[in-house]
Amino acid sequence: MASYQVRTFIGIFFVDENKKIISFKPFPKDPKEVAPLLNEKSEAPAEIEKFVKENLLKYAIEYKFVKNQIEFNQFLTKVNSELTKQKIKESASRDNLIIHVNNAVEELDRSINIFVERLREWYSLHFPEMDRVIENHEMYVELIGKFGDRENFNDNRLNQFKEKSSGMEFNKEDIETVKLFSSDISKLYELRKEFTNYLSKLLKEIAPNFSVLAGDVIAAKLIAKAGGLERLSRMPSSTIQLLGSEKALFRFLKSRGRSKSPKYGLIYNHPLIQNSPSDKQGKIARLLASKLSIAARIDYYSKEYRGDQMKKELEAKVKGILSLKK
């Protein structure tokens, strides 16, 4: 005679084909211990399983697992809380790292900008000519850390200015303090580099196809904006195309169509769009968004790497668009 095992949250039932319970092996009455036991599936036919499930309260009382419905409900609640906690732990997957690192980079950029602006104004008291000559922020910060007093500067671009500078004199303490500031800003630049290297590694691991098509910077921002790879993979490509343009979209909706509807969000910064004439950008944006949406799905569901091939296809199609007459 056939007997089936039915796994329930109170224990395992052995049932014959006439739906008679042959025996019952209870689980421990501790929700934390029960939750992992439920990961295995029962192998009984659906009909038998359904029968046991529907009568579970009755059996739980018969086999003295619980006294009454109240206790039964409480136990069911606790076990499912444990299961859900377990699921959340598993699903809090590594793409959350991308979100945090990306956002940290964006915040670092904002802070660095504020500090460099301050440093430029401050140091211009002493060496105002340098502000225009050295436009690159990081370079500006580095030079101050390296040389300090303008007297000590040895840099082709600046030597001609230092003798006849119109800036005021800084004493030793003035110089040391501004150097301290610049060296801390340099450290922020280093931190930023560490973060972006790490971000590239994460992207290769978690979204290899997506990041090869989008480029690391845009890929990380899109994943962060979408709230993770899973959400991104569920988005239609028209949404991906507009991600990051929320403000413009809102303006459009509020104006009831009187202002221009935005055509693209973050992906606008992609080189394939940036390097194309403006009358072709809309079409390329749509194409890019649809490829990105496919790539996000592959990354979420399988991670099988097809990035190089997809990138070639994408570039060929863009070429096609660019060669079209208006």
Partner 1 sequence: MPEVKKTKFYGVFKIKGKISTINLVPNQKVYGEELIKEKSVEYRVWDFWRSKPAAAIKNGLKGLPIEDGIKVLYLGIANGTTASHFSDIIGKNGLIYGVEISDRPFRELIPTAEKRGNVIPILANARKPEDYENVVLSKVDVVYEDVASDDQVQIMIRNCEKFLKPDGFAIIVIKSQSIDVTKHPRQVYKECLQELEKYFEIIDKVELDPYEKFHLFVVMRWKG
DSSP string, 26-57: EPPS-HHHHHHHTTSPP-S-HHHHHHHHHTHH
> How far apart, in Å, are the Cα atoms of 125 and each of 56, 169, 255?
81, 8, 47
* Residue among 70 and 316 whose Cβ is closer to partner 1: 70
Residue from 120, 113, 112 nearest 140 by CA:
120
Binding partner 1 (rule: CB under 8 A), the pick from 12, 21, 26, 53 is: 53
Residues 72-111 that bind partner 1 (CB under 8 A): 73-74, 76-78, 80-81, 84-85, 87-88, 91-92
How many chain residues touch partner 1 (CB under 8 A)? 20
- Shortest spacing between CB 139 and partner 1, in angstroms: 43
* Residue among 73 and 302 whose Cβ is closer to partner 1: 73
Binding partner 1 (rule: CB under 8 A), the pick from 44, 56, 240, 242 is: 56
Binding mask 227-266 vs partner 1 (x if CB under 8 A, - otherwise)? --------------------------x-------------
- Shortest spacing between CB 271 and partner 1, in angstroms: 33
Residue 1 interacting with partner 1 (CB under 8 A): no
* Residue among 94 and 201 whose Cβ is closer to partner 1: 94
11-16/21-26 β-pairing? antiparallel
* Residue among 132 and 256 whose Cβ is closer to partner 1: 256
Residue from 273, 278, 279 nearest 314 by CA:
273
**Residues forming a β-bridge with 5:** 14
Cα separation, 291 vs 271, whole angstroms: 15
Helix 95-124 and helix 172-206: axis angle, to 10°?
160
Neighbours of 165 (CB within 10 A): 17
The footprint of partner 1 (CB under 8 A) covers 53-54, 56-57, 69-70, 73-74, 76-78, 80-81, 84-85, 87-88, 91-92, 253
